[in-house]
Amino acid sequence: MSGWFTLFTNARYVLGGELVEDHLVISDETGCILKREGYIGGDVVDLDDNIIAPGFLELHTNGANGFHFTHFDDENIYAHKVDSIARYYATQGVTGFWATIPTVTADGFQKILPSLAPRDIPGSASLLGAHAEGPYLHPDKKGAHNSSLFQLCETSPSTVYGASNLSSSVKLVTVAPELPNSANLIKTLTSSGIKVSMGHSTASYADGLAGLDAGATCLTHTLNAMPPFASRIPGLAGLASLPSTHKPLAPWYTIIPDGEHLHPATVSLLYKTNPKRSILITDSIELASLPDGTYPGHSQIPFEQIKSGTRATIAGTDTLIGGCIPLQEGVRNLMSWSGCGIAEAVGTVTENVAAFMGIDGVGGRGVLREGRRADLCVMNDEGEVLQTWVSGHKVWDKEEELRQREDDGEARG
């Protein structure tokens, strides 16, 4: 077969938690992965024995680079800011993201969500929809949320988010399963194709099982804003240990691997509990990638915020606001803290996420199989992202960026 395609050679690629010694072929025309033999011509890319991974998927990010997804001005300005952050994500190996909107007013949700409908963004990570982290949360586990805006589960999601947004933008909702009538809420959401995760919750293990029975399939930032795991009271986090034979299925569960939200040993223990169901998230906020300092609040957190290294807190408190590391750093941390290999670590930000969100089929993302989108990142053995490819085209290259910076510096004098 001849035509417009790219053949990656001298590389290993990630599939099913293992490194496969083989080449990979992608179509420049369809932007999809092709079968691996029978090609003549095309572009050949020698990757110097580096690793091809699926493009990372950011399941839980509130923002970065000074922009929080609750920072809504008008539609055009907001869309421009989303495009800008999508370009930043691509520099971190991320090729798709769900924008997290924490608890705001119903009016706030309905202003913001129309701008978060899924769309491809040229040369950048794709916007895959929104994660509504609230307002169906427990006030005793509010974290950095404004509990005065929490809603009873009897309140219709259409009233909170807007009916049209439920059918377009909203792809994931976090719910506290111990709240009265939460089971009906979960069933309403999942019947519309929306995934439900359980978190910001005082739920017991039994409450969590009831949430799974109602249709929830994930835990939100496990062991943060939920009861601790104890010897005889496992709490919501104990659901991570359910066997693969359990009906309903054991949940996926998300982990913040920044060393602030969880101790490294806790990250390792959670991951090893069920590697195929564990998902790394950044829970990043607008302070991610900004210098250390004091920053103003916003519609979710109307207080000054302090950033110091990887830690971000509300001024004058020890309340963590969110994460400050990029997803690739989380992958490297998991490798270091758990001893897992790079292919296993990559699975927690690619294949596992895609499986949870139901986007790993033909034409989908997160897995390097024939017929899936050619959204890729190239990494070295240490887990550093070197290149990012979206839909079969390279959109970022670390060496090229460094060379451009050097050229710009010489041009300035």
Any known ligand binding at 71?
A: no
Any known ligand binding at 403?
A: no
The size of the chain, in residues, is 413
Any known ligand binding at 321?
A: yes
Any known ligand binding at 144?
A: yes
Of 99, 32, 35, give the one whose Cα is nearest residue 390.
32
Residue 218 neighbours by CB under 8 Å, 6+ apart: 172, 195, 196, 197, 198, 251, 252, 253, 254, 279, 356
109, amino acid identity? F
Of 390, 359, 365, 363, give the one whose Cα is nearest residue 377.
390
Any known ligand binding at 224?
A: yes
Any known ligand binding at 246?
A: no
Question: How far is it, in rounded angstroms, from Cα 413 to Cα 410?
Answer: 5
For residues 34 and 25, the answer to whether their CB atoms sit within 8 Å is yes
120 classed as catalytic: no
In what order do the strands lie in the sheet containing 94-102? Answer: 56-61, 94-102, 126-133, 170-175, 195-198, 218-219, 252-255, 278-280
Q: How far is CA 102 from the centre of its chain?
A: 14
Beta bridge partners of 18: 15
377: its two tokens: 């990142």
Any known ligand binding at 372?
A: no
For residues 10 and 48, the answer to whether their CB atoms sit within 8 Å is yes
Helix residue ranges, H only, 35-177: 75-90, 106-112, 157-161, 163-166
Catalytic residue among 283, 292, 360, 375: 283
Any known ligand binding at 261?
A: yes
Any known ligand binding at 3?
A: no
State how beta strands 305-308 and 311-314 pair: antiparallel
* Residue stretches of the annotated binding site for Zn(2+): 133, 200, 221
* Residue stretches of the annotated binding site for substrate: 144, 224-225, 232, 261, 320-322
Q: Which residues carry out catalysis?
A: 283
